[in-house]
Amino acid sequence: MNRTDQYRLRIQNCVGTILDVHSTISKKFENQEVLSQFDGLEEAIETLDMTLVSEGDILMVEQATNALLQQFRALFEAGLFGPVYARALN
């Protein structure tokens, strides 16, 4: 896998996680101002020219994703939302 494919995959993983959280919170959280910020995120990734992206850019996206998830952590831990991902049954 070449560098641009690796970068795209890393960004897609971040965006996928954000969209999964968005899907979970949008069922109960109706603040359209916040929710509208998620709209178009997936499409924006598809239009990125990954040849112009650096490792530093990817790290910033990953750090921003982690920071966003940290902001939502307390809400999920308080039980305001259900799980984002179903647990596998053993």
Domain ranges of the chain: 3-77
Find the angle CA(86)-CA(20)-CA(77) to the nearest 5 degrees. Answer: 65
Report how far Cα 4 is from the mean position of its chain's Cα atoms. 19
Can you give the pLDDT at residue 29?
65
pLDDT at 70 over 80: yes
**Sequence-distant (≥ 6) Cβ neighbours of residue 33 within 8 angstroms:** none
64 vs 38, which has greater pLDDT? 64
pLDDT at 27 over 80: no
Using an 8 Å Cβ cutoff, are 65 and 41 in contact?
no
For the whole prediction, is pTM greater than 0.85?
no
Can you give the pLDDT at residue 67?
94
- The pLDDT mean for the chain works out to 82
